[in-house]
């Protein structure tokens, strides 16, 4: 994915003896979601890197002619993954033995299909499913049945992906 940048040239401000920090923060505050900041400065703005890092931006530095610098601050795409309370080391789960594309089913049919699939699998097996949205009512039911799960939206936010590790029977089984 290419990042779109907003440009801010602080060289004139510094030339006039001004303090650019406030301008930079103002520019950062007006960035759209996913938009980056291209900063042009007469020196390498080292202290800014930490500030921007804490705001969730990575940086790349390019040296320009005349000893000036271009810094590209790119927002980190955070892959927030939801994990069930009972999930243990999802990174070590085996490859999914079942793949389901449920993105064209209206709710609550995806929930029904996933639960049915889980009933037929041995404990430890993994299901991977794609849905059109977060199956909110499914989550507690999975946990209640002793299944572990992790899930998140894809980057475009149009599909929800969930991995379920079948448990060996929950409290209600």
Partner 1 sequence: MLGATLSRWTMSYFAAALVCLVAGLILTASGFGYPSTAIEAPESLVVIHLFAIGWLGLLFAGSLLQFVPVLVSRPLEMPHLSLPVLLLTITGLGLLLAGFLGLAGILPLWSWVLPLGGAVLALAFAGLLWMVTRTLATARPMPLPAKFVALGCAALVGVAASGLLLTLPLSGLTANQYLVGLLLEAAPSHAYLGLVGWMTITAIGVSYRLLTMFLLSPERPRMTSRAVGWLMAVGLAMVAFGTVLAGAGTSPTATIYVATAFGGIAVLIYGLDVHLIFRERKRKSAEMNVLASLAAVAMLIACFALFGASTMSDLPIDLARPAAYLFVFGWLTGLGLGQLYKIVAFMTWLECYGPVLGRAAVPRVQELVNERRSSTWFLLYFGATVAATVALIADTPAMFRWLALAQLAAVCALAFEFTQARRLAIVPQAVRLPKGAIHPRLFLPSFKGSSQ
Where does this chain bind partner 1 (CB under 8 A)?
Answer: 82, 84-85, 104, 106-108, 111-112, 114-119, 132-134, 136-141, 143-144, 157-158, 172
Contact 120, 92 (CB under 8 A): no
Nearer to partner 1, 29 or 116 (CB): 116
Mention every residue, 6+ apart, whose C-beta is less than 8 A from residue 113: 100, 102, 105
- Least distance from partner 1 to the Cβ atom of residue 35, Å: 15
The SS3 call for residue 3 is coil
Burial class (CB in 10 A: 0-12, 13-18, 19+), 52: buried
Give least dist CB 45 to partner 1, A.
27
Minimum distance of partner 1 from residue 59's CB (angstroms): 23
Q: Which is nearer to partner 1, 16 or 122 (CB)?
A: 122
């Amino acid at each position: 994915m290419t990042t779109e940048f907003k440009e801010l040239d602080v060289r004139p401000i510094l030339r006039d003896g001004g303090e650019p920090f406030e301008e930079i923060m103002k520019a950062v505050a007006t960035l759209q979601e996913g938009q980056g900041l291209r900063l042009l400065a007469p020196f390498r703005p080292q202290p800014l890197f930490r500030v921007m890092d804490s705001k969730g931006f990575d940086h790349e530095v390019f040296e320009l002619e005349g000893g000036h610098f271009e810094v590209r601050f790119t927002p980190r795409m955070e892959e927030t993954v939801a994990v069930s309370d009972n999930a243990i080391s999802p990174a070590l789960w085996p490859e999914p033995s079942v793949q389901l594309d449920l993105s064209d089913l209206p709710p609550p049919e995806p929930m029904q299909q996933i639960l049915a699939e889980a009933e037929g699998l041995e404990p430890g097996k993994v299901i991977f499913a794609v849905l059109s949205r977060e199956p909110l009512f499914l989550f507690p039911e999975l946990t209640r049945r002793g299944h572990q799960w992790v899930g998140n939206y894809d980057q475009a936010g149009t599909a929800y992906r969930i991995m379920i590790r079948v448990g060996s029977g929950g409290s209600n089984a």
